């Protein structure tokens, strides 16, 4: 009889059952295209969030490799929010573009299962398995429009580069096991603490290889090459999903591995991560200025935001650790809402994701223009939005830890990034549209998702203390 508790995997089980139910509904619905399969996903994700809240402060463990500590549960709730908002945005897009809803929801839910597993895993091999589960699902979602050549090309590039990064990550696990004799993070950390004064090249090799694997998933320079093409080729709502969910899960695993198991060697990896953070912030901002396609612009924006998160990882003080979690929540809600607007404004024949497509939007779609403005201002870090509070705490953590150059570069790149965000705002409010206005039909569910996102952006920007305290308490329990 097994004595292993399964409490820690209950959130994953909820989402897995919802994914299986979506597959079954797709198989048995026949020609009834009106079956609301998305409701099954909503039930699974809400159940996962509720079970994560009920597991708070219990620190249960399942099978010795999955732990439901407050850090993993916080990220699980963030991922559930991302999934719920994605489903609310997706219903209109699937019907409009004629996409297979059962396949779409099942793939999305299975990828969230991989994301939750990444955030809660305490074994490097389990993290790798979770990484592959979410990656394979996202590869297929990128090319889910089978008749769309740019999407197929983007998925192919994403898959090839992802395979290389997975190989690096797996070699890093192999080197770690060769040095420490274990892949469990607790055992690895204990061994490395005793070896912290030695200069073992195998440990440094393991660090470097694992860093490459994580850097690819968070779109850090110089492993960002896949990001603009994948973001532009995928459907807008899929782009929003993978730019938030994948980044949140990858950063959760990144922080757990490097701030716990490899913390004794922080003096070796912190300078390298700091250089990557600088390059990521600068390239994401500078190249983003030159983009005329909103999805590519937000792709480089996503790269830059990955650099800001790396600043918090390098600082690694209590403020920085809590700021990482808060920033993940604020960025996820904001970026997903921005891509939601792009998705809702698209049509089956035209994506409407060019800068000129937003000319005069205030006159034809004032509500969408106002909501998009809030999202862009939050991404730019202007008060009183969630993005401002997130950047404030990230840069405060860098200053308090003595990384003044990182803070200065972060502030400067944030100021520069405001230019390409405001360029869209100016286009919406002050430019005259050439030709016919956008003819997209926006459903009530999509507008409800936007309203919830905007409310969250202002709540996190005006009253952030409660969520920040929650983030600080959750991360303090393990690091």
User: Do you find a cis peptide bond into 384, omega within 30 degrees of 0?
Assistant: yes
The structural domains of the chain, with segments of one domain joined by +, span 7-476
Helices marked H in 121-148 — which ranges? 124-142
Find the helix packing angle between 247-256 and 201-217, rounded to 10°: 160
Please provide the average confidence, as pLDDT, over all residues in the chain.
89
Q: What is the DSSP letter of 195?
A: T
pLDDT tens-digit profile of 288-314?
Answer: 988 888 999 999 999 999 999 999 999
Alpha-carbon distance values, 61 to 58, 120, 303 (Å): 9, 10, 34
Q: Which range among 99-108, 168-177, 194-203, 363-372 shows the weakest confidence by mean pLDDT? A: 194-203
Reply yes or no on whether the pLDDT at 205 is more than 80.
yes
Contact predicate 284/300, CB 8 Å: yes
Contact predicate 22/35, CB 8 Å: no
pLDDT tens-digit profile of 388-417?
Answer: 999 999 999 999 999 999 999 999 999 999
Reduce the DSSP state of residue 341 to 3 states and report it: helix
CA 55, 61, 309 angle in degrees (round to 5)? Answer: 75
Looking at residue 314, its pLDDT comes to 93
Tokens of 187: 């055992």
| Counts for the chain of helices (H) and strands (E), in that order | 20, 2
Element spanning 66, H or E: strand 66-68
Helices marked H in 347-443 — which ranges? 361-364, 366-380, 386-400, 404-430
Reply yes or no on whether the pLDDT at 183 is more than 70.
yes
Contact predicate 443/43, CB 8 Å: no
pLDDT tens-digit profile of 328-385?
Answer: 999 999 999 999 999 988 877 777 788 888 888 888 888 899 999 999 999 999 999 9
Q: Beta partners for 60?
A: 68
Q: Which of 190, 191, 168, 166 is nearest to 178 (CA)?
A: 191
Q: Which range among 8-22, 70-84, 319-333, 345-359 shows the weakest confidence by mean pLDDT? A: 345-359
Reply yes or no on whether the pLDDT at 3 is more than 50.
no
Looking at residue 18, its pLDDT comes to 95
Contact predicate 79/249, CB 8 Å: yes
Phi-psi region of 359 (alpha: psi -120 to 50; beta: other; left: phi over 0): beta
Residue 269 CA to residue 51 CA, distance in Å, equals 36
Please state whether the predicted TM-score (pTM) of the whole model is above 0.75: yes
Reply yes or no on whether the pLDDT at 439 is more than 70.
no
pLDDT tens-digit profile of 442-462?
Answer: 778 889 999 999 999 999 999
pLDDT tens-digit profile of 134-175?
Answer: 999 999 999 998 887 888 888 998 999 889 899 999 999 999
Reply yes or no on whether the pLDDT at 420 is more than 50.
yes
Looking at residue 352, its pLDDT comes to 79
Alpha-carbon distance values, 264 to 255, 260, 268, 290 (Å): 14, 8, 9, 41
């Amino acid at each position: 009889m097994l004595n292993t508790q399964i409490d820690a995997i209950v959130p994953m089980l909820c989402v897995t059952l919802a994914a299986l139910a979506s597959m079954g509904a797709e198989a048995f619905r026949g020609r009834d295209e009106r079956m609301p399969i998305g409701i099954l996903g909503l039930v699974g994700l809400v159940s996962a969030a509720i079970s994560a809240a009920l597991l708070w402060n219990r620190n249960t463990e399942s099978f010795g490799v999955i732990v439901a500590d407050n850090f993993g549960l916080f990220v699980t709730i963030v991922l559930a929010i991302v999934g719920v908002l994605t489903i609310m945005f997706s219903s209109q897009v699937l019907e409009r573009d004629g996409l297979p809803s059962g396949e779409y929801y099942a793939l999305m839910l299975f990828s969230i299962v991989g994301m939750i597993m990444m955030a809660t895993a305490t074994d490097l091999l389990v993290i790798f398995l979770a990484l592959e589960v979410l990656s394979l699902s996202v590869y297929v979602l990128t090319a889910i429009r089978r008749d769309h050549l740019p999407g197929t090309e983007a998925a192919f590039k994403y898959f090839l580069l992802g395979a290389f990064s997975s190989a690096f990550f797996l070699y890093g696990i192999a080197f770690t096991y060769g040095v420490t004799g274990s892949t469990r993070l607790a055992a690895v950390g204990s061994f490395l603490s005793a070896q912290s004064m030695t200069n073992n090249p195998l440990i440094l090799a393991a660090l470097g290889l694992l860093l490459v694997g994580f850097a690819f998933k968070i779109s850090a320079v110089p492993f960002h090459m896949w990001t603009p093409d994948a973001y532009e080729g995928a459907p807008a709502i899929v782009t929003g999903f993978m730019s938030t969910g994948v980044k949140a899960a990858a950063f959760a695993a990144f922080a757990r591995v490097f701030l716990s198991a490899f913390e004794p060697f922080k003096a070796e990896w912190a300078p390298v991560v700091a250089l990557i953070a600088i390059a990521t912030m600068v390239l994401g901002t500078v190249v983003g200025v030159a983009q005329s396609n909103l999805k590519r612009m937000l792709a480089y924006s996503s790269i830059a935001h990955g650099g800001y998160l790396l600043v918090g990882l390098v600082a690694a003080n209590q403020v920085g650790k809590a700021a990482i979690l808060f920033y993940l929540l604020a960025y996820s809600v904001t970026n997903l809402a921005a891509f939601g607007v792009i998705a809702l404004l698209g049509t089956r024949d035209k994506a409407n994701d060019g800068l000129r497509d937003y000319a005069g939007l205030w006159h034809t779609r004032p509500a969408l223009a106002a909501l998009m403005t809030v999202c862009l201002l939050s991404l730019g870090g202007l008060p009183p939005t969630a993005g401002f509070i997130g950047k404030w705490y990230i840069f405060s953590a860098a200053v308090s830890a003595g990384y003044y150059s990182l803070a200065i570069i972060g502030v400067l790149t944030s100021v520069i990034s405001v230019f390409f965000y405001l360029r869209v705002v100016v286009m919406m409010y002050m430019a005259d549209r050439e030709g016919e206005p956008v003819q997209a039909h926006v459903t009530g569910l999509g507008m409800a998702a936007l309203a919830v996102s905007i409310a969250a952006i202002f709540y996190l920007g005006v009253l952030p203390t409660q969520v920040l305290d929650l983030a600080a308490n959750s991360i303090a329990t393990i690091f």
